[in-house]
Structure 1
Amino acid sequence: MSTITLALRSALFAVGFWVSLLIYLPILPVVQFLPMHQRFLILRGWNWMAVHWLRLTCGVRWTVEGTVPEGGGVIIANHQSTWETLFLPLVVRGPVFVLKRELLRVPVFGWGLALARPIAIDRAAGRDALKQILSQGRERIAEGRWVVIFPEGTRTAPGRIEKFKPGGAMLATQNGARVVPIAHNAGCAWPRKGFIKRPMTITFRIGPVIETEGRGASEVNAEVEAWVRAQLATMPCPDQGA
């Protein structure tokens, strides 16, 4: 497929993406008054539209291996793309994303994020940001929700993975919460800082539950990182030649 064709299909996706956000705009003031489970169902509808519009316009499909159990805990996943942030609410009921505060200022998109009660941190705050994750994360886990953490701290290119920061493992071990690791190669289809989306089937692999009761954060963090690295080694980007 030529670069021009890929660019045109990606432009069509972008137009539909932002139009769908504008369609949701008049709904958001009403959604804020609904119970949380109803909010999630409505907001999740937009996520569903976004990833299926991407499938129709750009040929980006996916396969899911494994399941996230009911209840709450901590999900630790690698971060390559915007795609996984759109897709996770479709496989996890009411996820709580740990994200940078600036995202809440994005018109419409950020307003919808705020309605899901994420943990919005100032990444430059250092230890204060970690305290916020641990404090608010404890509350969300007690509500039976899954807290989603991208321990690399930023999106990375396929084939590369940054050392995992221990915040997610600390949150889990301090609360005796379960950890579910996730690995995927979404960056091959939707690269970070990239406009062009490439047709392929993303592998979204959900790992086994890791119990943390009586374990240290460094031990759990190392286990999760080792699992994610091992899975990514089996997920090379497919041939994307024109």
Structure 2
Amino acid sequence: MQKAVLYVRALLFYTGLVALTIPFSLLAILLTPLPAVTRSRWVSGWAYGVLWWLKVTCNLRYEVTGREHIPAGAHIILAKHQSAWETIGLQCIFPPQIWVMKKELLMIPFLGWAFWALDAIPIDRSAGREALKKLVNNGKDRLRQGLSVVIFPEGTRTAPGQRGKYHIGGAWLASHSETTVVPVAHNAGRFWRKNSILKYPGVIQVVIGQPIDTKGLKPDAINKQVEDWIEAEMLNL
């Protein structure tokens, strides 16, 4: 497909993205008095709208394998990080959720305000062990409210075929809260690439792994299970 067509489609998509983000961000702020799960369900309409518009403008869809592995209650989702797509797509796949993110993201107009209103968990990567303590305290609080916690162990996006370092934070929270972990692999980076506005048509494949019972497991053991499964699955995508 000609690059010019891809650019036009991408610009149409981003125009709609902005148009959806502003009202839903304001809605998130207005809903702050409501329970966390209610807020999450209402505001997740943004993600459904964005993915619909992505399909219309860029002919980019997704398919999910392993939905039967999603636990009924709140859990911790540890996912591969290749693009911005999964920050949107996972909201349509999993139950009410909240995300662990760099604290700088809360400064983004509208979108950052929505993150704050939805009780996202900001982290300071330079804070070391203190950051892990805050992650555990905040993570346990969100889990108690019925929210699943989404964490990208690699921390930053990696290109298809690349493998980032799997940081311990998500496994640390899982071990200290004894919460079930669900690993997720996907190939979104093939279609929605890092540092590119272009969106290539196709079907993103998302694979949900068997839940991991973390009771009695150390963070390192959890992290290794998650990394081994995700990276092995990535070879099939």
Q: TM-score range by the shorter chain?
A: over 0.9
The match for 2:36 is 36
Map 1:204-215 onto structure 2 (within 5 A): 204-215=206-217
- CA distance in structure 1 between the aligned counterparts of 2:58 and 2:30, rounded to whole angstroms: 32
The DSSP-based 3-state class of the residue aligned with 2:236 is coil
Q: Offset at 1:145? A: 2.4
Paired AA for residue 234 in structure 1 = N
Match of 1:180 among 172, 178, 182: 182
> Would the aligned equivalents of 1:54 and 1:60 in 2 still touch at CA under 8 Å?
yes
Q: Offset at 1:142? A: 2.6
- CA distance in structure 2 between the aligned counterparts of 1:83 and 1:25, rounded to whole angstroms: 18
The match for 2:88 is 86
- CA distance in structure 1 between the aligned counterparts of 2:136 and 2:178, rounded to whole angstroms: 13
Match of 1:193 among 195, 200, 204: 195
Q: Offset at 1:16? A: 0.9
Paired AA for residue 84 in structure 2 = T
Asked if 1:7 corresponds to 2:7, the answer is: yes
State which drifts further: 14-23 or 206-215. Answer: 14-23
Q: Offset at 1:185? A: 0.7
Match of 1:143 among 142, 145, 152: 145
> Would the aligned equivalents of 1:78 and 1:161 in 2 still touch at CA under 8 Å?
no
> Would the aligned equivalents of 2:37 and 2:146 in 1 still touch at CA under 8 Å?
no
Q: Offset at 1:26? A: 4.6
> Would the aligned equivalents of 2:32 and 2:118 in 1 still touch at CA under 8 Å?
no
Q: In 2 relative to 1, CA 114–175 (structure 1 residues): closer, same or farther, beyond 3 Å?
A: same
Aligned-residue CA RMSD (Å):
1.4
Paired AA for residue 36 in structure 2 = M
Superposed CA offset, 1:186-207 (max 9, x none):
1111111111110110011110
- Structure 1 segments, 4+ long, off by >6 Å, are none
Superposed CA offset, 1:162-212 (max 9, x none):
121111112111222111000011111111111111011001111001111
Superposed CA offset, 1:130-153 (max 9, x none):
221112112222333211111111
What TM-score, normalized to structure 1? 0.92
Asked if 1:17 corresponds to 2:35, the answer is: no
Structure 2's unaligned 5+ residue stretches are none
Superposed CA offset, 1:58-100 (max 9, x none):
0111001112221122111110111100111112222121001
Paired AA for residue 99 in structure 1 = M
Paired AA for residue 200 in structure 2 = R
- CA distance in structure 1 between the aligned counterparts of 2:26 and 2:100, rounded to whole angstroms: 26
- CA distance in structure 2 between the aligned counterparts of 1:176 and 1:41, rounded to whole angstroms: 25
Asked if 1:54 corresponds to 2:54, the answer is: yes
Q: In 2 relative to 1, CA 140–29 (structure 1 residues): closer, same or farther, beyond 3 Å?
A: closer
The match for 1:155 is 157
State which drifts further: 130-139 or 43-52. Answer: 130-139
Asked if 1:73 corresponds to 2:84, the answer is: no
